[in-house]
Each structure stands twice: as structure tokens, then as C-alpha cells.
Amino acid sequence: MVRLSPVKACNDCPIRYRAVCAECDPDELAVLEQMKTYQTFETGAHLAAAGEDLDHFSSIVTGCATMSRTLEDGRRQTVGLLLPSDFIGRPGRGQSAFDVQALGPVTLCRFERHSFERLVRETPHIASRLMTMSLDELDAARDWAVVLGRMTAREKLAAFLVSLTRRFAQGAGGPRPGGGGVTLQLPLTREELADHLGLTIETTSRQMTALRKDGLIDLRPAREVFIPDFGALCAEAGEDGDGGPIV
């Protein structure tokens, strides 16, 4: 059976980040609590536009979003998937280099940019936490470049499902392990998936079907994907079959 390593996000700290919020100083928390405002967006809403000034930074509370770029001729590439606890905006960056768009209804916990930047300047451990988050994103972006540049369509799809399962396993509302497998709720349409994988919608759909016919996944209504054997899917994604945990 697959081992899950769920690390729950801290609900008290607005910069929710895995379990490190245990380090949060009560005084800092109080400052952040005073600063924050919640805002909800509808499906497809633009949370940020490439090149536009950001007046707020935010942490995703519920829902998912993509970061993407669209070329003049309409070709689109998604460069990152944002899940609950992910942070939008970074100190010293007044604007986003990419479009950020809600995949479904999204609730953000927002902080006025200048106040937040001041807080970061005065609070080294928050700065260091943001650094860690950025470095994680950097590694993830480079990992994804390997997938985009060198993997086949089937491997891309398997790699995405594996990575999404692992990321959800670290937060709440993620995949439900049980019955010798894992159930995953896909937050993306086939088109959004294709844009993330650097494929067309048709190829994405075909490879999805191929994985289903090979018994690696089961496709259920409402974009639910059942993974009977997580290790087998990892192997399909080109990972050495050490049957490691979902992390």
C-alpha cells in the first residue's frame, strides 16, 4: 500500500506553508491578522495579469489557479499550478510575469502589498520562509522543464498525475487513499491540462484513455481519477520504482 505523508497547512498563519507555521510568532500573526482581507473570485477570473501592477499579495485559501502565458497567435503554456496555501506575489516584485487565472471559484487571503513588504523587511523569518517557497517553486519549474523538453505524451500525463497527487497529499481536501489506491479530483479541463503539458487537447484525451485501458487509472465522472497503484503510475512517469511515499 502506498504510504501517504500528509503535512497539513497551518490554518492560523496567513502565509500558510506546510507545517513551518508552527514557528509563527504570536506578534507577527497578530500583525498579519490585522492586515488580511478575504476575497472570492469566480471561475476564470484573472487574479493577476502579466505586466500589470499588483497592489496586493495573496495566499490561496480554497480553489486552484494557473500561471500561464499566451503567445500572440493563441498558443498557451501553463507554467505553474497554484493550490491552496500557495502564495501569489513576492517581495520586490511589483508585477507578475504571467497571467494568473482561477480554475474554479477561488478564495484569496490578501495583503496590501506595501504593508506586507514592510513586514517582510522587518521579519527575517518570514523573508526566509518566502525564500524557501520561491526555491521550491524554482525546483518545480525546472523539474517541469525536464518533463516538457524530454518526455513523451504518456509520460507527461503520468508525471502530472503523480505530481498533483503528491501536492494534494500535503494539503487538505486532497486525494483519498484507500482500497489500495488513491482518488484524485482534477481541477483542470482537458484544455487546461493540454496547455500545462505542452500538448493538444486531443493527444491529452487519447493518452488519458490509453492509461485507462492499461489499468493505470480509472476515469470517473466529475473529473475524478482513481489511481489503483500509485507506484505503477510513478514508474510510467519515468521514476525509479522504489515505491516511495507520496511527497
Residues that bind its own copies (CB under 8 A): 67, 69, 71-72, 75-77, 79-80, 90-93, 97-98, 121, 124, 127-128, 130-132, 134-135, 137-139, 141-146, 148-150, 197-198, 238, 240
Give least dist CB 205 to DNA, A: 3
Sign of CA dihedral 76, 79, 84, 89: negative
Count other C-beta atoms under 10 Å from residue 95's C-beta.
12
76 touching DNA, by CB under 7 A:
no
Q: Could you tell me if 129 and 85 are in contact, meaning their C-beta atoms sit under 8 angstroms apart? A: no
Q: Which is nearer to DNA, 74 or 92 (CB)?
A: 74
Residue corresponding to grid cell 505542452: 198
In this structure, which amino acid lies at residue 87?
A: F
39 touching DNA, by CB under 7 A:
no
Cell matching residue 238:
519515468
What distance lies between CA 89 and its chain's CA centroid? 15
Q: Which is nearer to DNA, 66 or 204 (CB)?
A: 204
Interface with DNA (CB under 7 A), residue from 18, 69, 176, 190: 190
Interface with DNA (CB under 7 A), residue from 152, 172, 173, 245: 152
Q: Could you tell me if 151 and 132 are in contact, meaning their C-beta atoms sit under 8 angstroms apart? A: no
- Picked from its own copies, DNA, none, the partner binding residue 130 (CB below 5 to 8 A depending on kind) is its own copies
Three-state DSSP state, 21: helix
Give least dist CB 50 to its own copies, A: 11
